[in-house]
Structure 1
Amino acid sequence: MKLSLGFSPCPNDTFIFDALIHHKIDTEGLEFEVFFDDVETLNQKAFRGELDITKLSFHAFAYAVDKYVLLDSGSALGFGVGPLLICKKEDVRRKILDVRHDALDGISEVSNLKSQISNLRVGIPGKYTTANFLMGIAFPGLQNKIEMLFSDIEQSLLDERIDVGLIIHENRFTYQDKGLKKIIDLGDYWEKETGCAIPLGGIVINRNLPEDVKLKVNRVLRRSVDFAFENPKSGLEFIRQHAQEMDEAVMYKHIELYVNQYSVNLGAEGRKAITRLFDIALQKKFIPEIKKDLFLTSL
């Protein structure tokens, strides 16, 4: 049986899926047609139900939960792994942080605080990314958003086409080398607010597939993650091939940051973090009502 599978070319995804698509493990007779796309393209494909299995942002999952259910392995959650809000100019950084501090201290009306930063141009890696969701919670006044490929955000800041950048993935390791400044780590913000790991993205499977196929994929994906941890250099050439000339040390920093115990199995803590994300989003009316179970299996 051949299934369509979508994931990003980022090192954390290629690290996880290498053994599965290259038959380094028992795939129980499954074959995979692979599609490499950036996360927002994968989100859009999920909304249309195009793929049998796909990586998507947890924010986007809320809009695709009628079509997909979450597998136990392959997710990206963790502490210290969240998206960063960055800028080029110190006055922009000060303005945003001043608004944040004033809001926390109750110094000004919320509407006035929003207006102070509403004109700033913000480059985001996609409307339905979890990064954009987190920024909306922390800085609701940042409304002038420009969607672009995550890999274009740093250069757009340097060229002053945008004032603020919301960065994800390997850009966490490169922005300082280009003279850009961190405004806030939104993952750290989330952790302090909730005490939970930040849920970034997960692997979902189409609900219309037979139950035995969904469970088979669940087992095979777990095997692939286990193999990757046991043989971390096995997929080096495959990872490098899709890493856009990334330095090997940066590639493995990226993997270490995003692939962890939650990638092996969400477990109770991972599920708690995802549920909390959805609960907050529902409270703030950022997402529609959820009427399906999020998780394929029960604990």
Structure 2
Amino acid sequence: MPAPLTLAHSPCPNDTFVFHAWTQGLLPDAPEVDLTLADIDITNGQARRGELDILKVSYGVLPHILDDYALLPCGGALGHGCGPLVLVAEPGEPAALAGARVAVPSTTSTAYLLFRLWAADAVPGGVGEIVVLPFHEIMPAVRDGLVDAGLVIHEARFTYGRYGLHCTADMGEEWEKRTGLPIPLGAIVARRSLGTPLLRGLADATRASVRAARRDPGASRAYVLHHAQEMEPDVADQHIDLYVNEFTADLGENGLHAVRALLDRSADLGLLPRVPDSVLATTLAL
């Protein structure tokens, strides 16, 4: 019997919800996987080192790993109205962030990439020092004046008001205003060396897991809340509703167009290496 494939994704509710049926052995036809739960910054590093077979990564890391990994057309996080936010303690215009000290959860994340694309236009002269902090420390740091602003993701869009903070810019709104496209956040990738037939099987298993999650949301609830740690159940539900959508089941032409737009715009500014269209051309065939 072959060894299980190695899979890593975050403990965030959208990922545990999507992959519950597969990783918990509820899909008899799906390849067996050995699951690791890790924050996205860790899985980005694992992908860059080629350590695992299947990973959830940031779209911002994609150009660095496409020699070894193929983008799967399902399971990821894209959408409308779900972008990262830039938070401040006092309301103000984005231009006030010139020279500011900004806390971010990672410099390899799509959130940071979207922030850099936005700041290139909205903050004359650019922001100042970038400080990497664990996600849960960013809002308290902004509240307590340790940084001038914070870039936050995921459930923070539902909870920042509890810290008395204000949203000075929504990276998703800015992206959609400029492009009219959904916001590419997280991708599922699998090792190219597994071969096309198995890659198609992994895409099929991911789609089947998404369908199972949607068909019976209650089946994964205890599992999702267990891994969501201290997140309140209603916040976890909002998180899933926002990040699990039609693009999770099928990236489609529109989703892939959004990914290409993100990568091309980032390459234009020198933020990422350029990715030839041919590298992504087989994605929708999986």
Q: What range is the shorter-chain TM-score in?
A: over 0.9
3-state SS in 2 of match to 1:169: coil
Q: Is the 8 A contact 2:105 2:133 kept in 1?
A: yes
Q: Is the 8 A contact 1:83 1:187 kept in 2?
A: yes
1:10 maps to amino acid = C
Q: Is the 8 A contact 2:263 2:274 kept in 1?
A: no
Q: Aligned equivalents of 1:98 and 1:139: distance in 2? A: 9
2:264 to 265, 276, 279: 279
Q: Aligned equivalents of 1:231 and 1:282: distance in 2? A: 41
Q: Aligned equivalents of 1:67 and 1:159: distance in 2? A: 43
Map residues 108-127 of structure 1 onto 2, 5 A cutoff: 117-118=98-99, 120-127=100-107
| 1:248 maps to 2:233 | yes
Report the alpha carbon displacement of residue 50 of structure 1 after superposing the two structures with TM: 0.9
Partner of 1:105: none
TM-score (norm 2): 0.92
Partner of 2:83: 82
Give aligned-pair identity as a percent: 36
Partner of 2:123: none
3-state SS in 2 of match to 1:89: coil
| 1:264 maps to 2:249 | yes
Runs of 4+ in 1 over 6 A off after TM superposition: none
Q: Provide structure 1 residue ranges, at least 5 long, that are not aligned to the other structure.
A: 100-115
Q: Check 1:143–1:68 CA distance in 2 against 1; reply closer, same or farther (3 A cut).
A: farther
TM-score (norm 1): 0.89
Q: Aligned equivalents of 2:28 and 2:127: distance in 1? A: 48
| 1:15 maps to 2:13 | no
Report the alpha carbon displacement of residue 172 of structure 1 after superposing the two structures with TM: 0.9
Quote the RMSD (CA, aligned, Å): 1.5
Q: Aligned equivalents of 2:199 and 2:223: distance in 1? A: 26
Q: Aligned equivalents of 2:42 and 2:103: distance in 1? A: 16
Q: Aligned equivalents of 1:42 and 1:98: distance in 2? A: 33
Partner of 2:209: 224
Q: Aligned equivalents of 2:63 and 2:28: distance in 1? A: 32
What is the CA deviation profile of residues 123-153 of structure 1, one whole-angstrom value per residue up to 9, with x for unaligned ones?
A: 1111111111111111131241111222221
Partner of 2:285: 298
What is the CA deviation profile of residues 190-222 of structure 1, one whole-angstrom value per residue up to 9, with x for unaligned ones?
A: 000000001001100011213222111111111
